[in-house]
């Protein structure tokens, strides 16, 4: 899972994120620690994790969990959804999304901006940008939500 995570970051964020981060020799080990905690630590027991395989090899990963913000207007947050570029268009992405987020659950996610392919994928699956943006690790991200009732 850590290898998929690192390769997808390298494929997706090259040019948006510093090469020093993407090519850091310790990057894989850091992601291995992250995934070990995500899969074994009691604090993350409400998270849902899924993987996509092709010919016995992992080609995609996904994880959702409760929102970090207790006051969030959505029930679930999509934290991870990555599929190798070579496997885009195979149905792995929609299958992963469906595996970690129920269609009737309200959900939010952060997506890099610009990242037109990912943003189009989320729009196709019912997500809309809610106008909120942040910069995380030097990368501009926009928040997209689905099934959230907006009060004006």
Please give the model's pTM, rounded to 2 decimal places. Answer: 0.93
CATH of the domain at 6: 3.40.630.30
The residue segments making up the domain with residue 43 are 2-146
DSSP state string for 21-55:
HHT-TTHHHHHHHHHHHHHH-GGGTT-EEEEEEET
Q: Is residue 132 part of a domain?
A: yes
Domain count, the chain: 1
Per residue in 69-82, pLDDT tens?
889 999 999 999 99
Residues of the chain with pLDDT under 70: 150-152
Structure tokens at 127: 């997500």
Q: Is residue 152 part of a domain?
A: no
pLDDT of residue 152: 46
pLDDT of residue 151: 54
pLDDT of residue 136: 87
Q: Is residue 142 part of a domain?
A: yes
Q: Is residue 151 part of a domain?
A: no
Q: Is residue 129 part of a domain?
A: yes
Q: Is residue 53 part of a domain?
A: yes
């Amino acid at each position: 899972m850590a290898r998929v995570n690192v390769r997808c970051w390298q494929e997706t964020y090259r040019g948006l994120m510093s090469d020093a981060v993407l090519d850091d020799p310790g990057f894989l080990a850091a992601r291995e620690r992250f995934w070990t905690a995500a899969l074994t630590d009691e604090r993350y027991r409400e998270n849902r994790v899924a993987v996509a395989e092709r010919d016995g090899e992992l080609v995609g990963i996904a994880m959702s969990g409760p929102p970090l913000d207790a006051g969030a207007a959505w029930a679930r947050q999509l934290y991870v959804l990555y599929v190798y570029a070579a496997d885009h268009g195979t149905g792995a992405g929609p299958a992963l999304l469906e595996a970690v987020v129920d269609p009737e659950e309200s959900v939010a996610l952060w997506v890099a901006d610009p990242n037109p392919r990912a943003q189009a994928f989320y729009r196709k699956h019912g997500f809309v940008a809610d106008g909120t943006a942040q910069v995380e690790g030097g990368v501009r991200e926009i928040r997209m939500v689905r099934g959230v009732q907006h009060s004006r």
